[in-house]
């Protein structure tokens, strides 16, 4: 599932007058919270209108998310988990947890949510901390490029009781989109064209932990080591089946929607590099006959930062001279859906 656009999700909590939410004299350190079966958690999902993005999250393609809850957060020496990783779906007309969850008879609940559900995609592992804010460990699956999720986390909703009626939850994008635009320079053999068959990002941090916070963007990434490669393959339909344009024609997007990369925000390790495999194809008289294949790589200048909720667009020129380098001619950090600040052009051997 690929999620775009700001997402508003409202937990409409069905409140019935089955008794008070407070019980004087309760020792909360030893008390086990009781479910208030007259007050089920019913979920009412609303989405802000998307005006700029494509492939947006809508009521049609949002199928699930997870919710967990701590009872009396920060009032006890350790977190007392009342609900863990309850999947929220819409089996009929209402969004509900499975199995059905309820408010507590006494005390309050703090909610922590992320989308999509961990049962739907690979790599999401909730962290149920004993104290302080919980989080999730996430590993974008390098073997599942075509269906990488746009992982979102919601602002924590702390110390709520059923009397508030509804609990608003706004989800935020946690990942970085990576795109490649390419062209070529130099002179291939007469009658030959240039096509990219593989792009690899090497030595990327592939696992990190996102911990909920109370300040925007309401999560913080930490940890990880540069030990993962991500490969886009023409043979797997990650790349467009296209011939590169000859410079000075501008660089063109080389990925298609199945090659959209949603990776973990990070400061890249100095060893991080981009590896390009391209081929000469004889386009006449027999189109698309592969004649030769080459692989070249280029380091990414350090420090290079991938911010959350941004798109990194690498502009690459491949010199098809056999001993010539690949040149990273520019890099932009854009807003998720529109042009943003442009970095100074970068050129190197």
First to last CA, the chain: 38
Domain ranges of the chain: 7-173, 176-335
> What percentage of the chain carries pLDDT values higher than 70?
74
Report the pLDDT averaged over residues 103-114.
Answer: 91
Provide the strand spans (E) within 2-64.
7-13, 35-45
Q: Is 25 helix (H, G, I), strand (E, B) or coil?
A: coil
Instruction: Lowest mean pLDDT of 7-21, 201-215, 232-246, name the range.
Output: 7-21
Q: Check residue 277 and report its DSSP letter.
A: E
pLDDT digits over 247-273, tens only?
999 999 999 989 999 999 999 999 999
Mean pLDDT over each residue of the chain, to the nearest integer: 80
Report the pLDDT averaged over residues 215-237.
Answer: 95
pLDDT digits over 175-193, tens only?
999 999 999 998 888 888 9
Give me the pLDDT at residue 13, please.
43
Instruction: Give the separation between CA 272 and CA 65, rounded to whole angstroms.
Output: 33
Interacting residues of 268 by C-beta distance below 8 A, sequence separation 6+: 204, 226, 300, 302, 303, 304, 305, 306
Paired tokens of 286: 């027999």
- Of the pLDDT bands very low, low, confident and very high (cuts 50, 70, 90), residue 6 is very low
Instruction: Give the separation between CA 40 and CA 214, rounded to whole angstroms.
Output: 26
H helix intervals, the chain: none
Asked if 182 and 318 touch (Cβ cutoff 8 Å), the reply is yes
- Of the pLDDT bands very low, low, confident and very high (cuts 50, 70, 90), residue 329 is low
Report the pLDDT averaged over residues 115-144.
Answer: 94
Considering only residues 46 and 347, tell me which one the structure prediction assigns the higher pLDDT: 46
Give me the pLDDT at residue 330, please.
62
Report the pLDDT averaged over residues 28-32.
Answer: 68
- Of the pLDDT bands very low, low, confident and very high (cuts 50, 70, 90), residue 12 is very low
Give me the pLDDT at residue 68, please.
93
How many CB atoms are closer than 10 A to CB 39?
21
Paired tokens of 204: 């990327």
pLDDT digits over 39-87, tens only?
655 555 544 332 223 343 445 566 888 999 999 999 999 999 999 999 9
CATH of the domain spanning 176-335 = 2.60.40
- Whether pLDDT at 2 is above 80: no
Report the pLDDT averaged over residues 268-279.
Answer: 93
In a 13 Å sphere around the CA of 178, the CA atoms on its Cβ side amount to: 24
Give me the pLDDT at residue 47, please.
40
């Amino acid at each position: 599932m690929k999620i775009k656009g700001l997402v508003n999700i409202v937990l409409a909590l069905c409140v019935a007058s089955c008794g008070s939410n407070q019980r004087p004299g309760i020792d909360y350190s030893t008390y086990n919270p009781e479910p208030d079966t007259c007050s089920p958690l019913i979920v009412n999902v609303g989405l802000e209108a998307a005006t700029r993005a494509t492939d947006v999250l809508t009521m049609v393609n949002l199928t699930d998310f997870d919710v967990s809850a701590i009872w009396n957060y920060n009032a006890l020496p350790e977190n007392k988990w009342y609900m863990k990783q309850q999947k929220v779906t819409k089996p009929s007309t209402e969004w509900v947890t499975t199995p059905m969850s309820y408010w507590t008879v006494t005390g309050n609940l703090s909610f922590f949510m992320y989308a999509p559900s961990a049962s739907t995609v690979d790599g999401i592992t909730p962290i149920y901390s004993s104290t302080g804010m919980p989080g999730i460990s996430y590993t974008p699956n390098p073997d599942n490029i075509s269906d990488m999720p746009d992982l979102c986390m919601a602002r924590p909703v702390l110390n709520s009781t059923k009397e508030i009626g509804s609990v608003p939850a706004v989800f935020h994008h946690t990942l970085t989109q990576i795109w490649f635009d390419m062209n070529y320079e130099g002179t291939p053999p007469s009658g030959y064209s240039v096509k990219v068959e593989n792009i690899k990002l090497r030595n990327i941090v592939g696992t990190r932990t996102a911990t909920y916070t109370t300040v925007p963007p309401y999560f913080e990434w930490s940890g990880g080591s540069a030990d993962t490669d991500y490969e886009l393959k023409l043979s797997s339909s990650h790349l467009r089946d296209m011939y590169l344009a000859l410079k000075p024609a501008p660089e063109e997007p080389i990925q298609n929607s199945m090659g959209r990369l949603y990776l973990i925000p990070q400061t890249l390790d100095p060893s991080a590099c981009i590896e390009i495999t391209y081929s000469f194809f004889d386009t006449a008289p027999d189109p698309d006959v592969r004649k030769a294949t080459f692989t070249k790589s280029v380091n990414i200048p350090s420090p290079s930062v991938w911010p959350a909720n941004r798109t990194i667009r690498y502009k690459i020129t491949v010199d098809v001279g056999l001993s010539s380098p690949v040149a990273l001619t520019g890099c932009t950090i854009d807003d998720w859906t529109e042009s943003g600040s442009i970095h100074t052009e970068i050129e190197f051997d």
